[in-house]
Structure 1
Amino acid sequence: MQRHEINPHQVTFPRAIQPYIVNSRIFDSSSSPQARVYYADHSPDRSYFIKTAAAQSLCREAAWTTYFHARNLAPDVLYYGTIGGRDWLVTARIPGEDCTSPQYMADPDRLVPLLAHRLRALHETDYSNCPETTRMERYVQTVQHGYRNGRCDRALYTTWYGEATDDEIYRIARDGWPRLRADVLLHGDYCLPNVILDDWKFSGFVDLDCAGIGDRHVDVYWALWTLQFNLHTNDYRSLFIREYGADLVDEEMLRIVAAMEVFG
């Protein structure tokens, strides 16, 4: 995760956030135009991530991070609220760095099995009393909305499955989404920057706004995508699937998910 130190006076932090930034160095670690993320480095045992975005846009992330934290899978949510028309979310920093750190990227033969085993463990986690159970319904609605409004990223499908038109890809998604299951706890965006390791020991997940109860192939798809994107090779696809459990992975479902993600 990249962090660029900034002058704290460059940002108008509301009063509720002040306790988390006082006497701290402030860094901008944003990676998305939809949200700003700041890192408040107070001391080794008192550091925080502060995220702000449009009102109500962080409520799911706050709820699911709290849920994952209760299962020792994510940082603690210290504050969530809407102030001045914007959401503010403060989480404690957990030990370690994300999987794009040079330490981990330099050893993919060790990293890939670890990511596969960690995902399998997540998918075997009890998801009783979860915040909501409509993740797959919303997933389908997002795909329908994206297609109707011409929002697509065709490369999410064509990189692996060859050239196709938007209409052809949408038909694959539409014909396939009735096969989606809702039987595992998903991260929803299982990519290297969202998995934190502390010297190769799992520390926690971050960016859980896409979490929910859904089909394991959503997470498996994004795991395979991030390995190709971040490692610049598709050579680790088979290793990941084998270590995760090849008997649980349906290649046709991966193709369906790829088609859906084009419009997601």
Structure 2
Amino acid sequence: MHNLNFPPEIQCRLRSYDWHKDSMGRSASDIFMLTQNGDLKLVLKVEQDGPFAELSDEAKRLEWLTERGVLCPEVQWFEQYEGRQWLLLTALSGTDLVSDPELLPLQQVEILADALRHLHTLDWEGCPYDQTVELGLREAEARMKAGLVNEDDFDPEWQGEPAQKLFSYLTANIPEVHEKVLCHGDACLPNFMATAGDFSGYLDCSRVGLADRYQDLALAVRSIRYNHDDAAVEHFLKCYGIEQFDKKRATFFTTLDEFF
């Protein structure tokens, strides 16, 4: 924390909080948890500014979601300062689904299914955020050309392959069916919060926007299988309402996610 040059407003505004850096997540941002009397109150995200920074996107989307009553962190302050983006958010109550010791795996996936189904059925009229396949492919190609794709972190089925091979697969296998809904964009278990067994909000919303529902379903299934087992996956799909899971369509979106 001390090697960052904090904006003067942050230094003044957050002087009374205890700080600790979150080292558990896989975000490109530095994340600081701010507590008072042991209670988590605020979260500060800090990211290097540039064409691929996401915090400004997250701030705009969170404000849009908050205006519509969607459960998510509220933006307290955003600034671009000395080559970095700074985003201060309210902390959501509860624990993320995969970390909650009180929730059994089937309970976790039930909450996830309900949260996604609710988001996917919201009225998206006037939503300004496009996360459709065409945009995703453009962004994936730009990140690949900029050298930002971590080939060492690919899923097992793609291990040892260059990013260009994955991109060629994507361009040759664009799904024919596009069900445009309001998607979270990174629907992994740790990005959904619960309190006392009830859903309490969405985290990491920089990719929220209009997309094929399989953008969320594919990443959710991958996350459930990684953290639990196939039985939990089947329970999730049943709770969401999917009778026949389109594996080819899902593979497209998990492959696209390798670029982000």
TM-score interval, smaller chain:
0.7 to 0.9
- Give the alignment partner of residue 253 of structure 2, picking from 244, 257, 263: 257
State the TM-score, normalized to the length of structure 1.
0.82
Confirm whether residue 240 of structure 1 aligns to residue 236 of structure 2: yes
Aligned partner letter, 1:16: E
Shift of 1:190: 0.8
- Give the alignment partner of residue 219 of structure 1, picking from 216, 220, 232: 216
Shift in CA distance, 84/182, structure 1 to aligned 2, threshold 3 Å: farther
Shift in CA distance, 163/237, structure 1 to aligned 2, threshold 3 Å: farther
Equivalent residue number for residue 75 of structure 1: 73
State the TM-score, normalized to the length of structure 2.
0.83
Unaligned runs of 5+ in 2: none
Asked if 2 retains the 8 angstrom alpha-carbon contact of 1:20 and 1:40, the reply is: no
Shift of 1:195: 0.7
Shift in CA distance, 156/95, structure 1 to aligned 2, threshold 3 Å: same
Distance 1:153 1:142 in 2: 20
Confirm whether residue 18 of structure 1 aligns to residue 18 of structure 2: no
Confirm whether residue 110 of structure 1 aligns to residue 107 of structure 2: yes
Confirm whether residue 51 of structure 1 aligns to residue 45 of structure 2: yes
SS of 1:90's equivalent in the other structure is strand
Aligned partner letter, 1:253: R
SS of 1:109's equivalent in the other structure is helix
Computed over aligned residues only, the root mean square deviation of the Cα atoms, in angstroms, reads: 3.0
Aligned partner letter, 2:155: L
The 5 A counterparts of 1:91-130 are 91-104=89-102, 107-130=104-127
Confirm whether residue 139 of structure 1 aligns to residue 119 of structure 2: no
Asked if 2 retains the 8 angstrom alpha-carbon contact of 1:154 and 1:166, the reply is: no
Shift of 1:214: 0.4
Shift of 1:156: 3.1
Shift in CA distance, 187/18, structure 1 to aligned 2, threshold 3 Å: same
The 5 A counterparts of 1:190-205 are 190-205=187-202
Aligned partner letter, 1:14: P
- The percentage of counterpart residues that share the same residue type is 24
Shift in CA distance, 248/122, structure 1 to aligned 2, threshold 3 Å: farther
Shift in CA distance, 168/66, structure 1 to aligned 2, threshold 3 Å: same
Equivalent residue number for residue 20 of structure 2: 27
Equivalent residue number for residue 82 of structure 2: 84
Residues 52-83 of structure 1: per-residue CA shift (max 9 Å, x gap): 11225211011111122222321110101111
Asked if 2 retains the 8 angstrom alpha-carbon contact of 1:157 and 1:258, the reply is: no
Report which stretch shifted further, 43-52 or 112-121: 43-52
Residues 132-162 of structure 1: per-residue CA shift (max 9 Å, x gap): 2254332111333456678446853728xx9
